[in-house]
C-alpha cells in the first residue's frame, strides 16, 4: 500500500467543494464505497465542513487531502475501507475532525481519497496534522493497515515491519539522492529519466570535474546540457526543461562555483551542444523492454510535435480572425460617424445601438466557433500522451507488458480533478432583433426575441431598460449589448431580485458590472431574502420570539426616537446594534440568537439607509460575522453591557410588547414551570 499527502493548491486555498466533488461527483461510476466521519448531514457535507472552517479566521487553508492506494489484485471491502480511514485519521491526529472519503476502482489499483477539515468541529482550533510530519504519518498508517488487514507489506516506504511485527523507521542513507514528487511522477508516466535526475547523475560530476568556466561549458555541452546564468544564480537547460543548479548538488551553488572557478565567464560561441538522446530509467534496461520503450518515445515525440504544430496553427488563425473582425468593426464605426448627424441625435443613438448589437453578435459567434475548434483539437489529442505502461498494454505484447508492470512498486500517478461547471442555457443577443424603432424626445431601439412581439428591452442611447426583469434571456442580451457599447462601465439599478439576477448572470457569462462586486452582491441580496419575512412580521409584532423579527421591531422603535442616527453615521449604527442586542437580552434571547440577528440584519439595515454606491464603498470588505460576534460578546453580554442591561430590565414589559409578546403571561408560565420542577425535585429527594 502506498500513502500520499495531496499537494496544496498554488493559491494556498483549497476547496472542500472541488475536492469532494472530484471524489464523488465527477465520475460517480468509479466510486465503489463512500462515507463520512463526524458529519451530521452527509448530503450537505461540503456546506457543513465549510461552516466549521470559517469559524477559524486564521486558518487560511483548512483542507487536507490523503490518498491510500492498494496493490493490483488487492480489493478491499467496505468494512476494511472504513478501518483504513480510521487508522489514517488517527495517525494524522485528526480523528475528531470532519472527513469525507471515497474509494475509486477506475484504475488497476483501488485507491482511497480522504478529504479532511483541519478545523476542530467543537473547539474551532486548527489541527497541525501529525505535528507537521505528515509524510511519515501516512506511511506509518499504510503499514498499520497492511498489518491489520493482511495485505502485502510495501518495502519502499519510510517504515518497515520487523520480524516481531513492529514498525521501525528506516535510517536515511545520506548518500542516496532525493527527488521531487514531480520528477518521480514524470518517470513513472514515461519511464524516461527526468531532467532533475540527469542534473544530479550526469551534469553534477561534469561540473565538479571542471577547473575553469570554459572547461565547465565544454563538459556540459558534450552531454547536450547548457549552463545558464540567471540573476544571482544559475540553471541547467536540459532539453526543454530548466533545473536550478543547487538541485544538482548543494556544493554547486553559484557562490561556491565562483569561489572555485573565479568570476563567471559566459559560454564561448564556438561551443555548441551535442545532440541529446532520451534516457530510460534503469528498470527499462533491467527488464529488457528497451526496444519497446524507444518506439514509445518516438511515437510520443511525434504526438507532441503534431499537437504543438496544430495548436500553433489554430492559435495564429484565431488571432488573425479576431484582428480582422476588430478592424472591420472599427471601420464600420468610422463610417457611421463620418456622416453628419447634426440635429439627428435620436437617429444616431438608434444606429449606434443597432451597430453595437450586430457587432456583439459577430464577436460571440466568432468566440463560440473558435472555442468549438479548440475543444475539438483538445479531444483529438487529449490531455497528454498515454503512459508507457498503458502503451505497452495496447501493443498486445504480454511478455513486455508484464515485465515492466510488475518489476517494482513505484509512486502512483493520480490526476487532479476539476469540477464541471454547468450553466443555464440562456438565449443571448443573437436571438434578439430590433423589431421597431421608437422616435420621441429620448428616442430608442426596441429589442424583442425572434418571433415575439413584446419588447424585451429598449436601448435609449445612454441607458438600456429591461422590460421583463424576470427573464434571464433578456438580462443576458441587455448586458451583452451594454458591454459591447460601454465596456466595463456598466451600472445597474432596480429591485433586489433584479440586481441579484443581473449579478448571477454576469458572473456566469464573464460580464462586468461596474457598481457591484459580484460575490458581495450575491451574499447581500441573499441576506435580504432571508429577512424580508422577519421585517414583515416586525411591522405587526411577530409574537413568536423570532430573533430576526425582534431585531427589526426594536430597530423601528429606536430609530423613531433616536435623531442621532443618520445616513453616514457608522458609529451610530454600531450603537444601534448594541441597543437592539441589550433589549433582546432583556426579552430572553440567547447570545447565539442575538449574534445571528445582528449578522443577518445589520447589513440590510444599512443598505436600506444608504445608496448602493455608498454601501459598496463603505462595507464591501466588512466581515459581518466578526462584527456580530464582537458586538454580542463585548457590548451586549460583556461587562460594558451589563449596566445597560440592568437599567433596561425595568422596561421589560414595554420591550416584550414591542415584540408582540405578553410579559405577564410569559413570566407566569415560567414561574409555573419552575414550580413544577421544584416539586419534582422534592419528590425525588423524598
Which of these ranges, 63-72, 482-491, 655-664, has the smallest mean pLDDT? 482-491
pLDDT digits (tens, 9 = 90+) for 179-215: 888 888 888 888 899 999 999 999 999 999 999 999 9
Relative to beta strand 225-230, strand 167-169 is unpaired
> What is residue 610's predicted lDDT score, i.e. its pLDDT?
78
pLDDT tens digits, residue range 364-384? Answer: 999 999 999 999 998 888 888
Give the confidence band of 541 by pLDDT, cuts at 50, 70, 90: very low
> What is the reported pLDDT for 449?
82
- What pLDDT score does 416 carry? 29
The pLDDT assigned to 524 comes to: 44
**Which of 516, 551, 575 marks a domain boundary?**
516
Tell how far CA 506 is from the center of its chain: 19
* Residues 632 and 554 both lie in one domain: yes
Phi, psi angles (nearest 5°) of residue 115: -100, 125
pLDDT of residue 404: 65
Q: What pLDDT does residue 71 have?
A: 82
Residue 407 has pLDDT above 50, yes or no: no
14 and 127 in one domain? yes
pLDDT score of 46 more than 60: yes
- CA 441/CA 237 separation, integer angstroms: 70
Domain-located, residue 17: yes
Give the domain CATH number at 65: 3.30.930.30
Please state which of the ranges 121-135, 322-336, 539-553 shows the lowest mean pLDDT. Answer: 539-553
pLDDT of res. 199: 92
Q: Answer yes or no: is pLDDT of 323 > 50.
A: yes
**413 domain residue, yes or no:** no
Which one of 81-90, 395-404, 464-473 scores highest in mean pLDDT? 81-90
Tell me the average pLDDT of the chain: 80
Query: What is the reported pLDDT for 397?
Result: 64
CA distances from 365 to 359, 478, 510 (A): 10, 17, 16
Residue 483 and residue 602 share a domain: no
**509 lies in the same domain as 542:** no
Assess whether 257 and 321 both reside in one domain.
Answer: no
Residue 81 belongs to some domain of the structure:
yes
Q: What is the pTM of this model?
A: 0.49
pLDDT tens digit sequence for 208-223: 999 999 999 999 999 9
pLDDT for residue 412? 23
681 part of a folded domain: no
In this prediction, residue 97 has a pLDDT band, given cuts at 50, 70 and 90, of very high
User: Is the pLDDT assigned to residue 233 strictly greater than 60?
Assistant: yes
The pLDDT confidence band at residue 545, using thresholds 50, 70 and 90, is low
Q: Which domain holds residue 337?
A: 290-405
pLDDT digits (tens, 9 = 90+) for 17-28: 889 988 987 788
Q: Angle between the 16-24 and 45-53 helix axes, to the nearest 10 degrees?
A: 160
Q: Exposed, middle or buried, 659 (CB in 10 Å: 0-12/13-18/19+)?
A: buried
Q: Is residue 400 part of a domain?
A: yes
Are residues 399 and 360 both part of a single domain?
yes
Mean pLDDT of 420-434: 66
What total number of domains does the chain contain? 5
The burial of 434, by beta-carbon neighbours within 10 Å (0-12 exposed, 13-18 middle, 19 or more buried), is given as middle
Point out the domain boundary residue: 135, 169, 203. Answer: 169
* pLDDT at residue 463, as a whole number: 75
CB of 577 within 8 A of CB of 565?
Answer: no
Question: What is the predicted pLDDT for the residue at 84?
Answer: 93
* H or E element in which residue 447 lies: strand 444-449
pLDDT at 367: 94
Q: Are residues 314 and 390 in the same domain?
A: yes
Query: Looking at residue 174, what is its pLDDT?
Result: 66
In a domain, 683, yes or no: no
Residue 409 has pLDDT above 60, yes or no: no
Q: Domain for residue 557, yes or no?
A: yes
Please classify residue 52 by burial: count the beta carbons closer than 10 Å to its beta carbon, then call 0-12 exposed, 13-18 middle and 19+ buried. Answer: buried
State whether 383 and 361 are in the same domain.
yes
DSSP code, position 212: S
Last residue of a domain, one of 277, 303, 319: 277
Grid coordinates belonging to 351: 444606429
Q: Per DSSP, which regions of 231-329 are E strands? A: 233-238, 241-244
Asked if 211 and 126 sit in the same domain, the reply is no
Regarding whether 602 and 558 lie in a shared domain, the answer is yes
Q: How far is CA 286 from CA 21, 358, 435, 526, in A?
A: 41, 66, 76, 64
Q: Tens of pLDDT along 578-597?
A: 899 999 999 988 888 899 89
DSSP state of 243: E
Residue percentage of the chain with pLDDT more than 70: 81
pLDDT at residue 568 is higher than 60: no
**Residue 354 CA to its chain's centroid (Å):** 39
Q: What is the DSSP string of 148-160?
A: HHTPPPPSSSSEE
The alpha-helical segments, DSSP class H, found in 115-253 are 134-149, 181-190, 195-198, 204-209, 213-221, 245-248
> What order do you get walking across the sheet with 111-117 strand by strand?
2-5, 63-69, 111-117, 99-104, 31-37
What would the mean pLDDT of 294-305 be, rounded to a whole number? 91
**382, 243: one domain:** no
- Nearest CA to 118 out of 88, 137, 94, 147 is that of 94
Q: Is residue 501 included in any domain, yes or no? A: yes
Please name the residues in contact with 312: beta carbons below 8 A apart, sequence gap of 6 or more.
none
Q: Are 245 and 145 in the same domain? A: no
**Tens digit of each residue's pLDDT (9 = 90 or more) over 159-186:** 876 655 677 887 766 667 788 888 888 8
Amino acid at each position: 500500500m502506498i500513502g500520499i499527502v495531496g499537494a496544496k493548491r498554488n493559491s494556498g486555498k483549497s476547496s472542500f467543494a472541488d475536492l469532494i466533488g472530484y471524489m464523488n461527483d465527477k465520475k460517480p461510476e468509479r466510486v465503489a464505497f463512500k462515507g463520512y466521519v463526524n458529519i451530521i448531514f452527509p448530503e450537505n457535507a461540503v456546506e457543513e465542513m465549510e461552516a466549521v472552517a470559517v469559524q477559524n479566521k486564521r486558518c487560511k487553508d483548512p483542507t487536507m487531502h490523503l490518498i491510500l492506494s492498494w496493490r493490483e489484485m488487492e480489493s478491499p471491502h467496505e468494512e476494511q475501507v472504513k478501518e483504513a480511514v480510521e487508522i489514517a485519521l488517527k495517525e494524522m491526529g485528526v480523528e475528531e475532525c470532519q472527513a469525507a472519503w471515497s474509494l475509486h476502482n477506475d484504475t488497476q489499483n483501488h485507491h482511497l481519497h480522504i478529504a479532511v477539515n483541519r478545523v476542530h468541529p467543537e473547539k474551532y482550533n486548527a489541527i497541525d496534522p501529525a505535528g507537521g510530519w505528515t509524510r511519515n504519518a501516512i506511511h506509518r498508517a499504510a503499514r498499520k493497515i497492511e498489518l491489520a488487514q493482511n495485505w502485502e507489506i510495501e518495502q519502499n516506504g519510510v517504515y518497515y515491519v520487523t520480524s516481531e511485527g513492529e514498525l521501525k523507521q528506516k535510517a536515511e542513507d545520506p548518500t542516496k539522492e532525493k527527488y521531487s514528487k514531480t520528477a518521480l511522477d514524470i518517470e513513472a508516466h514515461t519511464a524516461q529519466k527526468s531532467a532533475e535526475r540527469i542534473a544530479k547523475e550526469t551534469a553534477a560530476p561534469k561540473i565538479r570535474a571542471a577547473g575553469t568556466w570554459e572547461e565547465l561549458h565544454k563538459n556540459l555541452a558534450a552531454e547536450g546540457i547548457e549552463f545558464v546564468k540567471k540573476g544571482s544564480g544559475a540553471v541547467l537547460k536540459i532539453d526543454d526543461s530548466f533545473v536550478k543548479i543547487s538541485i544538482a548538488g548543494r556544493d554547486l551553488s553559484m557562490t561556491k562555483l565562483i569561489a572555485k572557478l573565479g568570476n563567471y565567464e559566459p559560454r564561448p560561441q564556438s561551443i555548441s551542444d551535442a545532440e541529446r538522446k532520451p534516457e530510460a530509467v534503469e528498470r527499462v534496461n533491467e527488464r529488457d523492454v528497451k526496444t519497446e520503450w524507444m518506439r514509445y518515445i518516438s511515437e510520443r515525440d511525434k504526438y507532441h510535435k503534431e499537437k504543438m504544430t496544430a495548436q500553433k496553427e489554430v492559435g495564429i488563425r484565431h488571432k488573425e480572425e479576431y484582428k480582422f473582425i476588430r478592424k472591420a468593426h472599427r471601420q464600420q464605426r468610422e463610417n457611421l460617424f463620418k456622416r453628419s448627424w447634426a440635429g439627428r441625435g435620436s437617429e444616431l443613438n438608434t444606429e449606434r445601438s443597432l451597430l453595437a448589437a450586430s457587432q456583439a453578435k459577430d464577436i460571440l459567434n466568432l468566440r463560440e466557433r473558435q472555442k468549438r475548434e479548440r475543444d475539438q483539437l483538445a479531444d483529438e489529442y487529449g490531455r497528454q500522451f498515454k503512459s508507457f505502461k498503458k502503451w505497452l498494454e495496447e501493443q498486445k505484447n504480454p511478455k513486455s507488458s508484464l515485465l515492466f508492470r510488475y518489476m517494482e512498486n513505484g509512486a502512483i500517478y493520480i490526476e487532479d480533478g476539476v469540477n464541471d461547471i454547468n450553466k443555464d442555457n440562456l438565449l443571448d443577443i443573437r436571438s434578439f432583433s430590433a423589431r421597431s424603432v421608437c422616435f420621441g424626445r429620448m428616442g430608442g431601439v426596441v429589442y424583442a426575441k425572434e418571433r415575439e412581439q413584446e419588447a424585451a428591452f429598449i436601448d435609449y442611447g445612454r441607458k438600456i431598460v429591461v422590460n421583463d426583469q424576470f427573464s434571464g434571456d433578456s438580462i443576458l442580451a441587455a448586458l451583452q449589448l451594454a458591454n459591447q457599447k460601454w465596456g466595463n462601465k456598466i451600472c445597474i439599478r432596480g429591485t433586489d431580485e433584479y440586481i441579484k439576477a443581473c449579478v448571477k448572470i454576469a458572473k456566469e457569462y464573464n460580464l462586468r458590472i461596474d457598481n457591484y462586486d459580484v460575490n458581495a452582491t450575491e451574499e447581500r441580496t441573499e441576506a435580504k431574502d432571508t429577512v424580508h419575512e422577519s421585517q414583515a412580521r416586525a411591522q405587526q409584532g411577530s409574537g413568536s420570539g423570532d430573533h430576526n423579527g425582534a431585531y427589526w421591531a426594536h430597530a423601528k422603535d429606536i430609530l423613531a426616537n433616536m435623531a442621532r442616527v443618520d445616513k453616514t453615521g457608522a458609529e451610530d449604527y454600531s450603537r444601534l446594534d448594541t441597543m437592539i442586542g441589550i433589549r433582546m437580552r432583556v426579552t430572553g434571547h440567547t447570545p447565539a440568537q442575538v449574534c445571528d440577528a445582528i449578522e443577518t440584519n445589520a447589513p440590510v439595515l444599512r443598505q436600506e439607509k444608504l445608496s448602493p454606491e455608498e454601501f459598496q464603498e463603505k462595507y464591501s470588505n466588512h466581515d459581518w460575522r466578526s462584527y456580530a460576534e464582537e458586538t454580542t460578546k463585548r457590548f451586549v453580554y460583556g461587562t460594558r453591557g451589563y449596566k445597560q442591561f440592568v437599567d433596561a430590565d425595568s422596561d421589560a414589559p414595554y420591550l416584550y410588547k414591542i415584540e408582540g409578546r405578553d410579559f405577564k403571561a410569559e413570566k407566569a408560565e415560567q414561574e409555573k414551570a419552575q414550580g413544577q420542577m421544584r416539586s419534582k425535585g422534592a419528590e425525588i429527594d423524598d
